[in-house]
Every structure is written in structure tokens, then in C-alpha cells.
Amino acid sequence: MLDLTTRGNFARHRRLRQSAGVRRLVQETRLSVADFVYPLFVTHGRGVRDEISSMPGQYQISLDQIGREAAELKALGVPAVLLFGLPASKDARGSEAYDDAGIVQDAVRAFKDAVPELVVITDVCLCEYTDHGHCGLIVDGEVDNDESIELLAHTALSHARAGADIVAPSDMMDGRVGAIRETLDDAGFVQTPIMAYSAKYASAFYGPFRVAADSAPQFGDRRGYQMDPPNAREALLEIQDDIEEGADIVMVKPALPYLDVLAKARQEFDVPLAAYNVSGEYAMVKAAAANGWIDGRRSTLEILTSIKRAGADIIITYHAKEAAAWLREDGA
């Protein structure tokens, strides 16, 4: 019998690659602006719009700039922001993190006033607010787990009170998702979702962020609480526990060195899955593109597509605004 699909002993895979139209028709993964969350650093002061040197195109902005920022995101169709704050002062207990008049709390209100439909997600952590730069409370020279989760829960509650749509704990203390869920529920915020940084690795790729957020640890490192890069099965345990404690969305972070973890998580769990394309990943692309070593636009879209292909429903990325504009140009 005549085999209609092949001539000789090989398949003609190139048939479906002949034109942009056909390629688009058979495309398995479609990147969309609807996938993006844009991380943003807010700071005290007026008229502040300071570019972060290791993250070209990213800024620390003051509250008065938020109206403009929100309008820009709305025009581009970027659906969500993830807020980080730079406090007026730091102390051992990270007090401004859970101050109802803190910088993030004010920024949440400003975003919700400017564009109510923009989804405002807040990073819940202490490292930007503590003078020692660790993500929790120090007791006897160690980051104390159980003391820390109480402050983290207060922080999440304060963000919810300010109007945050989603709270996102990034500290990697054990039991914090459960503590936050209970605290939110007790205060009547049963409808506030938790996006947990569940599989967050102790990564070298956070370097530019720690400058941008002024959150580098002043002694030691974060290996006692963030995950060890060689471990993938452990990531699934972390995710499982966070879901059981009440996480509505789980996250793998960073994205690119952990695409395998992302793919495994996608297979294993049915809750929405986020990936954080972190500051160091962004900085590498920008540096190489500035040197003319890679095509910045094509490599960015390829990277973001790979994160989606690996299984992410939500991509947190500093590229969100430029990628939104490129996708629109491409008619995607």
C-alpha cells in the first residue's frame, strides 16, 4: 500500500515550517501579555525615578509616579504588578514591613486608586526592612523560623488591609503559608489568595535585585532557608506542603536554571503555577544585547516562551512591558 505521509523512509517535518502563517497555525505554545506580572520597586520621596544600574530599563519609583506607571501598564495590557518596597528606615524586626502606613501599603492604595482592575500582588518578606537583611527574625544569631512567621503573617495582613489582591510570601520559612492563611481568615480576608514562592532556590541570580531592593544579607547567606540548587524532588515536597497549607498559586524561582523543576511541578500539580524570571536572568540578556552579542528582542521572547512551554501559567518578569509591546507588534 502507498504510504501517503512519507516518500522514502523519512517524514517531511519541514512541510509545516514553510511560512510564517503555517508556523503560527501549528504553534504549540502561545506567549500572551495575559501571562505577565511586572515586578516594581517603590520608594519614599517625591519625583523619584531612579534607574537601577544593573537592570537597565527598571526603576525605583516614588508614590507620585504610580499613576503614570499604572496607566502605562493598562495601555500595554499587562494585567498585574508585584510590589517590593524600600523602607524609610530599617530595624532588627523589619517594622515597616507590617506598618499600615508603610511604603508598600501606600503603593497598593495608589495603584488601586489609579487603575482598580490592575491586579496588585505584594511580596511578603522582611529582607528589605531588616537592618541585617535576612528574610526573618534573628534569634541567637540564627533566622528563627517560628518567630519569623508571625511577623510575616502580620505583613501579609497589613497588605491585604491596604487592598492587595494577592499576597506572595518569598521568605522560605516553614509553615508561613499556613500562618498567613489563618491570620487572613481570622481577620475576614478569606478571599485574599496566596501566591507562595514555594520552590525558591538560594540562587546567584538574585544579585541585581538585592542592589535594587537594598536587601543583601549583612552576614552569612540565605542557604539556611532557601533551597539548595541541586534538589528537584525536594521542590515537589515544598510545593505540596504549601498547597496543603493553603497556597492558591505556587511558584518556582528562578525560572531558567530550574525549567526542569517547573516542568515536574506542572506534571504533578493542578494549581496555577508561576515562574519568576529573576533579576540576574534579566541583567544577562540586557548586558549581552547592549554589547551586540545577542538580539535582545528575539532572545527575550524565546526565553519567555521557554518558561511558558515548561509549564508556567504566570510569568513574573522585568521584561513584561517591552515584551507586551513586541507581542502587540507581532500581532500575537
User: How far apart, in whole angstroms, are the C-alpha atoms of residue 86 and residue 133?
Assistant: 12
User: How far apart, in whole angstroms, are the C-alpha atoms of residue 332 and residue 324?
Assistant: 10
Q: What is the CA radius of gyration of the chain?
A: 21
- Minimum CB–partner distance for residue 125 and ligand PBG (Å): 4
> Which one of the spans 15-23, 158-166, 208-216, 259-267 is the region binding ligand PBG (CB under 6 A)?
208-216
DSSP, residue by residue, 22-82: HHHHT-S----GGGEEEEEEEESSSS-EEEETTEEEEEEEEGGGHHHHHHHHHHHT--EEE
Choice from 209, 225, 258, 326 touching ligand PBG (CB under 6 A): 209
Catalytic residue among 74, 90, 112, 253: 253
Q: Which CB atom, from 222 or from 264, has the smaller least distance to ligand PBG? A: 222
**β-bridge pairing 166-169 and 119-124:** parallel
Residue 221 host element (H or E): none
Q: Which CB atom, from 80 or from 127, has the smaller least distance to ligand PBG? A: 127
CA dihedral for 106, 181, 137, 58, sign (positive or negative): negative
CA 273 to each of CA 20, 26, 70, 107: distance values in angstroms, whole numbers, following the listed order: 30, 24, 25, 26
156 interacts with ligand PBG by CB under 6 A: no
Q: Is 321 a catalytic residue?
A: no
- Minimum CB–partner distance for residue 281 and ligand PBG (Å): 8
Give the per-residue contact string, 221-250, with ligand PBG (x = CB under 6 A; - = no): -x----------------------------
258 interacts with ligand PBG by CB under 6 A: no
- Minimum CB–partner distance for residue 25 and ligand PBG (Å): 35
38 interacts with ligand PBG by CB under 6 A: no
113-152 residues in contact with ligand PBG (CB under 6 A) are 123, 125, 127, 135
From 205, 209, 193, select the one nearest 156 (Cα to Cα).
193
Choice from 278, 307, 310, 315 touching ligand PBG (CB under 6 A): 278
Q: Is 112 a catalytic residue?
A: no
Phi, psi (deg, nearest 5) at residue 14: -70, -15
Catalytic residues: 200, 253
Residues contributing to the site for ligand PBG (CB under 6 A)? 123, 125, 127, 135, 170, 206, 209-210, 215, 222, 278-279
